[in-house]
Chain A
Amino acid sequence: MLLHSASTVLADNGWVSWDVTSLRKLFWYDTVTGLAYGSIYALIALGYTLVYGVLRLINFAHSEVFITGAFAGYFTLKACGFTPGVVPGVGAGEIVAYLVLATGVAMVASALTALVLERVAYQPLRKRGAPSLAFLITAIGASLAIQQAYFIWRGGNPEPSIQLVVKQPEIKIGNTTMDNIQITVIVAAIVLMLVIDTFIRHSRLGRGIRAVAQDATTATLMGVNRERVIMLTFLIGGAAAGLGASLYIMMIPSALVYNGGFILGIKAFTAAVLGGIGNLRGALLGGLLLGLVENYGQTLFGGQWRDVVAFVVLILVLMIRPTGILGESLARARA
């Protein structure tokens, strides 16, 4: 009740609220939405975490890898004859087929972008043994360049949305329902994360990745091809971002804009740090948690503070537990 009385005081100011009543009312709704958002953060966070685990590099341009996937998926749908604003008159099976196709294209496009980025921007620096500041600046430069290339190509307005799937409530959870899109997003994200996790933990190539993350020099001496491992890392991270991108434009079709990756990128990075950067399961956990916290925070403080909540979480995590919840290290993951 004390909290309740405080809410009226703060709410009078108007710009930041302390709305416990709404939070209580919308708790389940926020939980469901938060999990869906969180799944996408987790998918993007995977790319940050893998690259960080292997190279100790924050790949700032990963947000542009993501948005490339989103554009690729969008234009695939467009090429398949779907027009913005028109409800498609084809059967459900066909829609699923087209969505899978668009997702595939998005994943390939993102993975290739990540790979090209690695080859063009980071590899020359690695050969020269440049300090980490140079890597960060390169990453930022590449991010800005790609983002602005999209701006010049597509302009500053979001693309008109192509909505293939109509939202339908499916499962009842608490006092709200989870719709079909949210279920798809959450399931697809978790399945891909599990596949990648298994791959890293149990396959030969995955062992290579872990070896390089642990000790690059020794791994090379043991016959691991370091350059190939790095390429693989960027490919996997890119593909995951591509899936995230495809799911993201399915969930929020109107959000495709040239700088749409920027905020998502920062949030995904926050998610990676929250779970423990370099830790795959940490990326999933961090992503889901961040999605939840952000949605609760949005209801509590007001929608305009959504992004601020995420940043504050980032700063708090770094202050209190910089190694994240599950602890960092790709290297220490055991098969």
Chain B
Amino acid sequence: MTAADTTTKTQRAPFGQQIRDRWNGLPRQQQWLISIVFIVFLIFLPILNPAGITTEPGTDFPISLFNASRYALIAIGLNVVVGQAGLLDLGYVGFFAIGAYVTALFTSKDSSLHHLPYLACVPIGMAITMFFGLILGIPTLRLRGDYLAIVTLGFGEIVRLMADNVPALKGQVGFQNVGHPPGTRDNGLPIFLQSDGKPWYWLTIGVIIVVLILVGNLERSRVGRAWVAIRDDEDAAEIMGVPTFKFKLWAFVMGAAIGGLSGVIYAGQVGFVNNQKFDPVTSILFLAAVVLGGSGNKVGVILGAFLISYIPDRFTSIAEYKYLIFGCALVVLMIFRPQGLLGARQRLLTYGRQAYQRIAGRPEQLDTGAGALSGDSRSGAMGGGDL
């Protein structure tokens, strides 16, 4: 990264770059402090219900926030697969559906299975989705990347068809009274009511923070470095001794587990699971969230997920056109801003921060232009050179 490169980048996105540089210039403690203040603001958001931001009367504001946070969790999971490891997964809704169905099967009165408490479904749901991730991943991840897209698309559709046709999954009739986390209010009602989005929203925020910390640590570890290497050039990674298949599977299964987790939470909040919510278009909406926000950038994908979920709730007049708009957005983004709103950052991993301070004596400068999807990071498979 030469100085000249940085200047051109700065000219291209001056505002974003300034903010980013200022943020990166702050000491670690201040970054934490600002993050905590922001999280506290997010926590109080459904109570404040500010005019102008609220989605009422169209959608209950806490519920809308819950949905946004649910999308954010999904986007974080999908980001591990798409943004970190560069695997295009178009069947993500399948994992989400499996998580939701596991919860329904074990907690709903309509199910003949042995009943379990809701919280027990969280690890079970995640384990089962991981298992499905494994059985889908093992045959397909050995293939060229572009086949993966269509196989996962097929997988999402198979899950939906199973839900339609396997009698134990009850098709459109579905499962009523899906369980929810324990706890009662002063008036004897459970804390986690379907009608009240606030506890669910807070729960999801908590889960997101935990998942972010876990995924963040994973990304800074050997695993994360392997993912980035695979994303940027799989052949080179393989030659350098990265067991690419193993790490691709790892990313795929991690992503599946987070998708399953969000399915479990979703099933609890909605309280009703049937075959209607898991069509392939939803997978593409998830993908749009990741790509729009900035594939490979965790803050970016959360922002993208928020936009995907919040915009149709807030501006109800365009809700009908949301798939059209987000579909066009994908095309336009790939042409004009392939890195998304907040691009992935190529940075020194693990000890990057300390290394910068030691060697350059200043906070790290990040190359924001390059990422999972921007063309400048490599010559490009479609560029013609290697056709």
- A residues with a Cβ closer than 8 A to B are 13-15, 55-58, 60, 120-121, 124-126, 128-138, 140-149, 151-152, 212-213, 215-217, 220, 226, 262-263, 266, 269-270, 273, 304-305, 307-308, 311-312, 314-315, 318-319, 322
Contacts and interface: CB of A to CB of B under 8 A. Distances in A.
A314 B287 CA distance: 23
Contacts of A262: 280
A318 B152 CA distance: 13
B188 interface: no
B167 A14 contact: yes
Interface in B12-44: none
B51 interface: no
Contacts, number: 180
A144 B326 CA distance: 8
Given A141-B329, A141-B331, 13 more contacts: A13-B167, A55-B382, A58-B149, A121-B331, A131-B373, A133-B373, A134-B374, A138-B334, A148-B321, A152-B320, A217-B385, A307-B157, A308-B161
A318 B143 contact: yes
Contact of B88 (A137, A217, A318): A137
A217 B384 contact: yes
B265 interface: no
B150 A58 contact: yes
Contacts of B363: none
B330 A137 contact: yes
A269 B150 CA distance: 8
Secondary structure at chain A's binding surface: helix, strand, loop or mixed? helix
Nearest to B384: A216
A125 B146 contact: no
A149 B324 contact: yes
15 contacts: A131-B373, A134-B375, A135-B382, A140-B90, A144-B327, A145-B327, A145-B330, A147-B327, A220-B384, A226-B384, A266-B157, A305-B161, A318-B143, A319-B139, A322-B143
A315 B140 contact: yes
A216 B387 contact: yes
B147 interface: yes
Contacts of A141: 284, 288, 326-331, 333-334
A322 B139 CA distance: 11
Contacts of B11: none
A304 B384 contact: no
B291 interface: yes
B165 interface: yes
Nearest to B285: A144
Contacts of B164: 304
A58 B146 contact: yes
B58 interface: no
Contacts of B50: none
A152 B384 contact: no
A151 B327 CA distance: 13
B338 A152 contact: no
B323 interface: yes
B379 interface: yes
Given A58-B149, A262-B280, A145 B143 contact: no
